[in-house]
Amino acid sequence: MSQRDMSQERSRDPLHGITLEIILIRLLDHYGWERLGGLIAINCFNKDPSIKSSLRFLRKTPWARKKVETLYLRTRFQVRAEKPKKANGTDRQDK
């Protein structure tokens, strides 16, 4: 397989370029620990949860990582629009 074929193959992966840490943080922002632990029943989400311990577990446990990645792909995140800034770089209104 050529280098070009490999790069095209990778780009089809919907998670390409998204780290496990980003996935976990976005899911936490969306669901919170309690709901995330209800959706995916693993101890690292239910008993004294932390990002560090969850990442350690998910990196060592392929079946759990797959569940987290699948939930991430199925979750409909709301896009937050940023407040437009004035041309001079300030947010205050001129009177």
CATH code at 15-74: 1.10.720.30
Task: Give residue 52's pLDDT band: very low, low, confident or very high (50, 70, 90).
Answer: very high
Locate the domains of the chain by residue range. 15-74
Sign of the CA dihedral running 23, 13, 67, 56: negative
Nearest CA-CA partner of 52 in 76, 81, 87, 20: 20
Task: Give residue 13's pLDDT band: very low, low, confident or very high (50, 70, 90).
Answer: confident
Q: Mean pLDDT across the stretch 67-87?
A: 77
Tokens of 38: 């209800």
Which is more confidently placed, 79 or 21? 21
Q: What is the pTM of this model?
A: 0.70
